[in-house]
Structure 1
Amino acid sequence: MSPYWPVVRDRVFGRVLPGLALSAIGDGMSAVAIGWLAVQYAPHHQRGLWVGLAIAAYTLPGALGAIVLAPLLRGRGGAHLVALDALLRAVFLGAVPLLAAFDALTIGRYAALLAGSALLSAWGSAGRYTLVAQVLPADLHLPANALLTLITEASTVAGPILAGLLIGALGAPAVLAVDAATFAALAVCFAAVRARAPLPSPEHRSAGLATICRDRELLGLTVLSFWFFLLFGPLPVAMPLFASSAQEIGMLYTCFGIGAVIGAIATGHLPRLPLWPATIGSVIAFGLLLMPLGMGLPRWADLLTLALAGLAWSPYPATSVSLFQRAVPAERLPPVLAARGVVLVISTPLGTLLGAPLVQAAGPAATLVACGAATAALGLVAVLVRLRARAGLGAYATSSSTLR
């Protein structure tokens, strides 16, 4: 029996899966449109900079929302958090095609609307994985997390192709109109959900970052994720300049998505997968596979390499979140995952902002090689840290046994 079947059949979680899938397709389309629309509206000599700013604006404000709005959102259930995030995104993204239709859209207004749409992104992400822990038993957390990754990555297969066709027919603003509509549907879908698990009591509404800092493993995982996503940040800036058309961007993202879908399916079928080795191995493999993209290979080789990179990437979201779900009780997860979201929301756009001048100066090919090499080195450092920590624990256990 498929490990995904009990997840899909769950009375609560199964009800929201169609909304998640529909919204993911919209996101897969906007992954192409956001950068491409920035290229169209930005001054020609500042395209790389504005692409980086637009992509960062679509994620970075989530860190501000996670901190400033914590007193209002920390005690809410996972489904409520997703609904609020989806509603906000629908409103702000829907304003982009509306302004474009009246010739009132500028690159500055575009970046501001993207920033407004991202204000609750960390809480929305935390809400998804909190709902997994609230309504599903622990042995289904990994396949459920893998299913969420599968939905996200499957959207990168169909979404970019649809985006390329829609951009060619109606323009990039139409893609964001579709994405806004899918977020509206997602908000309706989650607004009707009532999670079975109790909400956190006041004494459990502690700061999520403090909880992470008190746990050495969670702190190490958060640091690893920060640097992993930071080094991933320059890629969305490099891709629009690495490709020669919106359709080619779509093909590159689609190949990555195909590999990621295969990897996500495989991850869900491995219930005994060792979480830490799989997490670190994903980082190393992704970095090594990223490097050949900037070495002037034929385009078919680039597409194959991106598919393999997607295969290597896909276990990381599921295994890293499973480590959090294993360490933190469900009623305390929202602020902890939101704090983790702050770190990721900061790291990716920070990498994008740092990558923009790097792409401008060194070019997209050299940027891909540098990011791949640095990512693989990060994974090797994580291996050494884990081995050293385990050796230290072993020595401590031996000395304690001797004293007894």
Structure 2
Amino acid sequence: MTGTVVIAPDSFKGTIAAAAAAEAIAEGWRRERPSDDVRLLPMADGGEGTVDAFATAVPGARRMPVTVTGPEGAPVEASWVRLPPTADATADAPGGTGVVELASASGIELLGTPPRLRPFDAHTRGFGEAIAAALASGVSRLVLGIGSSASTDGGAGLLTALGARFTDASDSPIADGARGLATVSRADLSRLAPLPPQGATVLSDVTNPLLGEHGAAAVFGPQKGAATDDVAVLDAALARLASLLGADPDAPGAGAAGGAGFGLLAWGARLVPGSAAVAELIGLDDAVAAASVVVTGEGSYDGQSAAGKVPAHVGAVAAAAGVPVALVAGRIAPDADVAGFAATASLTELAGSSRGAMADPVRWLTEAGAALARSLSDG
């Protein structure tokens, strides 16, 4: 019997992007059930792979290459995705949605392996340059993914690329990164590019404020190379920036991506939970409603995965539609609640170890897809 299968995983962090993971799972599924209609809808929450997910999931999406200034100051080849225009398109605003991710322009992955961490000097200028390129093309709406940041610059770099000017007491432009924020005295937003006609939506699964013990410097600074004594310095630098901009530093998500969330709020953008927004844009609900089986997944499924992560959202959509859902994960932790899944597959168990699974994720995702195809009925 032929079925319709929707494959909608998140990326397997640090191992394989969502689009490639979906392809591998699909290959295994088709090996066991070649007659099934398999639809790939890779998901994202705003981090690395967001652009790839939209390029794969949305018919008519176009990848737009752009060269930007990377987080170390060197040129980086990045891209954004234009989604097809809607009925609101005009001659002056060709329309369509521009999807831009911070990870590919200003992300920590761009600092090498292992990363050359730059807690005071990495910046988001390249992300702003990619946003500016999308604006210049005439998009009517922006969707901005801000995961995987390399910096703690409060979004000053991206705002500078969009036309803002940040200066010190002598009216000289400040240095890029958090180092420059320590001397910032004035913010001139008079030449800041306007938002597109339908605004900008920011995807983030982080709700931290900008400042304080739960803020960008304290929580995420150490991941970007900040030593214990550096955290207070970074927090004070962010506070200087916050005193000059009109956004609320206590807003949920202001601390996301080293404070890039705050900078985007100051621009007028709207922060939303990433998984739900991506699902809406790629038409997940309609695809699931027409499916007989759904497969989702992520790198590590644990006790916190039910709180807003991709598998939880996809699972909720499937449950509402009465469609069975299966889970693929790099590892499934002992504290994970998998009761809502019709079947599960752990790459660690299939490969015999986490090291083996991470060494060849395509192979083991393919095996996981095949295993789930064997175990699940048409529904």
Query: Fold match, TM over 0.5?
Result: no
TM-score if structure 1 supplies the norm length?
A: 0.23
Q: Larger helix proportion, structure 1 or 2? A: 1
TM-score if structure 2 supplies the norm length?
A: 0.24
Q: Larger strand proportion, structure 1 or 2? A: 2
